[in-house]
Structure 1
């Protein structure tokens, strides 16, 4: 019991330890990869919003159409001109707001007196630009991190930009103030990894401009990343991952330590429970083996030896007191009888093998089951976007559908050509080099009836024996003097006369190859059975130059016409 338990538990414990380290690395790597990917998406969304704000403020601040009109309005003393200019500015601002659905509040703002004009929505009372969390500041423009919108009826978080106007005259300094749309900002902040991730947004000086966890990471405090490695670390009970933009501001993703290790801890608990259960089962099985199996196993061994003897004793004379062993002994006895019957049956069937082997090959697979299975595999490959596998399954399905057709079912040269094209598609996927197969068929022979599955073995033989990286195969089907001449030529190494003899005369079992090929012997027997002396199969080959296989069949259409003329 001790040896059995030790031999069972030691490998389990070793596997558990190795699995823990492997699982820990995999889970940590997957989670970190997901966090960084999510962080990059948030950063790109944030940069896109800032870029859009920058574009809108450029339209409003510089000497464009609106900028010039605002400049003229500030200097004009003519009431009528000011009225016209205000209408035009309102119209163009509304047009910009309409064509930029990702922006919200837009207005011109004066820092000196805190006034604003041309606002597209109602502004909250007590609006102060200095109270907004500064994210980044550059020449003439400042960006403010996520803050509550200054629209009166909007309490959602937005991102805003303030750009100084570029006027030619001397008057109060005026700025353009633009906020992002609340839906845009909401999409950014809701793009979290699960329900446990939080975000920090740091300005260029690593000051916290926005915080989802204000209790542990207050706004306007500085974020300390000096202990981090590769823009990640552990702080205040949170694993943090940081991504810094090209403008210098950063986004930090926070994940609670317990959540980060949740999967690993769950796995450890499961392994502990499993270890205890495994130990109990192992000890119990060891006890059963020691108590119940040792002596009955000796009796079972004697029962097996008796089966090899001619005069096997009756089964009831070999009780083991274990039903499973008694059942096995009976099954062994039945197996011996069945083997004897099978040997006799094989001897009978072997005598008829030559007449039935073609039909056995054609009926050894259930076409309906195979087709349905391949259709299922085809749809699975298509749904998973695996185009190469989808192409392979479609070609295999078409090829099998054709080759597994009933023996007496009619076939034409057109169908045979389509079949070998599907076969070539499979072989090009299978082999690791590209090969050239050229097919030329006279149009007037496409619909002539021929035996099913006689071109593929010839083409397969050329691929298997004569093709290399520089090789090609030429397939020609022509109508010559009332005969259908099918030639398959390759520029391979060639075949000796002895090999040609083997290809034409060996038994079909010896001719089988990988894939669907069953040898030229099958083709020869098939055409002999169908056409007799009217058809022939010939092979011409020169070592180092190539091989050509000629299959000459009678034109059945011509035969039918001659027969109708004779009857007439």
Structure 2
């Protein structure tokens, strides 16, 4: 099955419109899309770079805070008063002044260590295993607080850590204090205080609010909403376990299986850093939608406006094309009419552009064609009239020829021999002229015709005209146009004005051409020195002013080409020589060949 393309697709309008869409609008649309993608990549890269720098600063702050906590724990663990107090097997007696002084001194040391190394909102406490708690805060019921702390998971982990700092994230529920907000998350470090024998004697507790370590963190980070948060979130993880942050978002993004090289995941930009002091990984997840959404909205708006502009310009383009194509349609309709033979059709196209110029040239061509056809029609009509007149005239020469024959025999029988010769010569002239079926003859027949013509002229001029023919025998059979030499001889007789008049006809060949020279001994012309040739000149002198000679010259050029025709030489005192140049062809059958030349 062959697919046929609609003809409308081949119109200039559709081609230009298609080219406008493909080569202008489509590249612009592609450029907008490429620019959008490049802008998006650049924006994502810049934001990712900024997040990495911010996360690095947060990590440095956490490392600094962790170092201070560790130093504070060193001071507590290695303080002799604190160690001596928790090693005492006796219960603290309030009434025992020395013991009370030690108790209050330990509390002051713990408070001073906190104020010196940590922020004022940090919580520091020392627990022994006899139920005593030394803390920077005042508890309403120390015994109950101690029991609550014993239940915390970090309390038992510190006993098994053998003095190594143990880091956790815990709440402040066990800290009974009117000034401590409930459900406050703390970065907690616990550490076992060991004796010289290596046995545990107490636990150091240091807690710093997460807000002090991570100002960017807020209570929303710990929510368990089913949908991911729409803003940046921080996560702390240890060996794939979430220590801090939204568990649902953590599980949704699969941050526990995060690759070190991962930068994008589930529409989030992921940045990762390691807190060396804690051994934890700090992760920042920033959703792309807030900043890429605006860029995408701008892209959609640009595409919408571009589409509207494209449609608008297409409509304008079509209107302009219709205006431009309308003259072409008018010209096409006129061409169709002219092709069907209506030469009166004129393309009415106005303006000065190329199409208008084409229309003007077409109208001029149609006008010339109309004139040519009218001229051809007129020539055809004249040819028909000439043919009819020739048919009419053909009867008269035949009748005249037959009548002359009768007169000739009557004159011969009556003894008038000179009358018989005149009639014989006239009959030959009529016989030669009556051969209308061919235009080309041979040179011999033309010369015989000239001899009969001169014989008749001698009757008029009393044998004062002599014709001397000097043509080689081999040239007598050359092809020759009828009635070419007779007008030349006639002009010599009429305009020679000399008695006796001698006319000489010579013939020779030159470079494949046949040259026939007709000379007389007439009075000549005083206007030009003798024997100076005048070639390719219109025969308009006084002697050659007859229409016949001009026609002969044009006729020769028409048959044989512009290189052939008549030339003449005039003497100041005697004679004119006219030269006929034609191709040298053999026989009258060569006429067509000569004409082609």
TM-score by length of 2: 0.41
Name the larger-Rg structure: 2
